[in-house]
Amino acid sequence: MDWEDGGATLFTGDKRFDVLVSPYSNGIKTSAILTAASTIGELESLNIKDKIILLHGEIAREQLMPKNFVFYNPEDHQKTISLLENSGAKAIIAATGRNASLAGGVYPFPLIEDGDFDIPSVYMTEEEGLTLLPHIGKEFKLASISKRIMGNGCNVVARNRSESNSRIVITAHIDAKKGTPGAIDNATGVVILLLLAELLVEYKGDKQIEIVALNGEDYYAVPGQMMYIAENHGAFDEIYLNINIDGAGYKTGETAFSLFELPDKISQKVTQIVDLLPDISEGVQWPQGDHSIFVQYGRPAIAVSSQWFINNIDSQDITHTAKDNMDIVDMNKLPTIAKAIKKIILEIQGNE
Ligand SMILES: [Zn+2]
């Protein structure tokens, strides 16, 4: 599903409030009484049928996982969504703060970003939410112009000819959030995939190489990832190792190779290789990326990213914003990373 954002307005009388359309929301033009909830308990106790509900404070602290996002979906998110869906509310206004680890660097962040959730919603800053609160019980006019457009997408999967049914899968997501150029997240990852395709032209190792541009990591329903899982149903055991590149090549700091559940011998080998390279070091584990899919299926994985982003994952204001552009990329790092990955691929073979 693609989405067209035509902007939104919110008025009571002639007082206007700043609101943004939630990505992939349905549009609406309505007039209704404003009510508010800051906790799940409060939401549960209110009758919000035919009203506009302002979600603020604790209940709007972190982005609600999309209904059909299966990899991580906390119970309180599911509860909030089901209360809203059964409430008969006309529309939702969310007042949100900063939450970079789950929503990227955007402020305010859309509390709801889900093409499978049908109640129209808009969002605003925490500060704007505070100016709205005294007007509870008043009649509001909300107009939100938002259009869902169905479309097609695909993953790009390339494998070398190989007798082996044991694969090294190298992944990078090819999509970017709307409204960002997506240089670090994740054009650099795609460049490294392409460099590896070229570097591995003469490859004759034991393992099959599979290069995958996944289409959907930054898209609410992760359709490319779901399709990859469906296509590999029952075959994840054939995956020897996943190497996922996401967020690599930031101008400041080193490249981080984070290791997930690697068998000892591979882990030692990778650590040796990484230790010898001046611009690359081992990083701590981080879960927000496609390597997590492989790890959840019990496969070893290496995530390749920038140390700076891992260290600042909760406070950075770059990813998913206009700031994620070419100015923050050190292009020289990309071939170095591609060569390091090639070295790892060649040297870990036969190390079972
Ligand atoms: Zn990403």
Residue 249 has a pLDDT of 98
Residue 98 has a pLDDT of 81
Q: State the Cα–Cα distance between residues 69 and 8, nearest whole angstrom.
A: 27
Q: In the chain, which stretches have pLDDT less than 70?
A: 102-104, 350-352
Sorted by sequence, the CB contacts under 8 Å of residue 27 that are 6+ apart come out as 6, 21, 120, 144, 145, 146, 147
- Bond before 86 cis per omega within 30 degrees: no
CA of 182 to the centre of ligand 1 (A): 8
User: Which DSSP state fits 326?
Assistant: G
Report the residue count for the chain: 352
Residue 351 has a pLDDT of 57
Residue 352 has a pLDDT of 52
Q: Which residue has the tokens 């660097």?
A: 105
CA of 13 to the centre of ligand 1 (A): 42
Q: State the Cα–Cα distance between residues 304 and 181, nearest whole angstrom.
A: 20
CA of 126 to the centre of ligand 1 (A): 26
Closest among 24, 46, 35, 222 to 120, alpha carbons compared: 24
User: Which DSSP state fits 250?
Assistant: B
Rounded to 10 degrees, the C-alpha dihedral 123/124/130/135 comes to -60
The pTM score is: 0.88
CA of 175 to the centre of ligand 1 (A): 8
> 20 pairs with which residues across the strands?
123
Q: Which residue has the tokens 């099959």?
A: 208
Q: Three-state SS for 215?
A: coil
Residue 102 has a pLDDT of 67
CA of 240 to the centre of ligand 1 (A): 23
CA of 112 to the centre of ligand 1 (A): 19
CA atoms within 13 A on the CB side of 295: 19
CA of 297 to the centre of ligand 1 (A): 20
Distance from the first to the final alpha carbon of the chain: 42
Q: Which two tokens stand for residue 332?
A: 């020289």
